[in-house]
Amino acid sequence: MRPGVRIGVDVGKVRVGVARSDAAGILATPYATLKAGRGDLDSVAKLVRETEALEVIVGLPLNMDGTEGPSAKAARKWARRLFRRIEPVTVRMLDERLSSVQAHRQLHEAGRKEIAHRAVVDQVAAVIILENALEYERTSGQAPGQPVGPSAEG
């Protein structure tokens, strides 16, 4: 397991959920819910700098059949824009097909009212994305997801 803080991001049209790991890459915790758009990239880039993050894991919301729809294309574009701000820190895309569904389920099971989910569901989804990335690296010994690079289109 590579040492270093990882940042997990769930990109949505309205909100961006952010989570972070500890430096050992063991524990993922909620960090913030940002309003999507103006300032969201700056806020994540600032967190990357402050924590000296090893990498950022951005959720890739694929369709159930594995194809990319508009949400996945938007997440890729967001990730490429972030990469340009934080280079040379690595940005990786990780399949997150059911993270929001899983986040709602966890909040419901924890007794949170559905109306209260909105404020934290994106953070919980970011935690799930980050936990999946950490688990993949622990079990495989390889970095998770697909790296975003300067040659990526967009």
Let me know if residue 94 belongs to a domain: yes
Identify the weakest region by mean pLDDT among 44-48, 74-78, 89-93, 148-152: 148-152
DSSP H stretches of helix in the chain: 40-51, 70-86, 99-109, 114-140
Give the mean model confidence (pLDDT) for residues 82-91.
Answer: 97
Let me know if residue 65 belongs to a domain: yes
150 pLDDT higher than 80: no
Let me know if residue 147 belongs to a domain: no
- Tally of residues, the chain: 154
Let me know if residue 130 belongs to a domain: yes
CATH number where 97 lies: 3.30.420.140
Let me know if residue 152 belongs to a domain: no
Domain of residue 134 covers 6-141
Let me know if residue 18 belongs to a domain: yes
Report the domain count for the chain: 1
Residues 6+ apart with CB under 8 A from 2: 25, 54, 137, 143
Q: For the chain, what percent of residues have pLDDT higher than 90?
A: 73
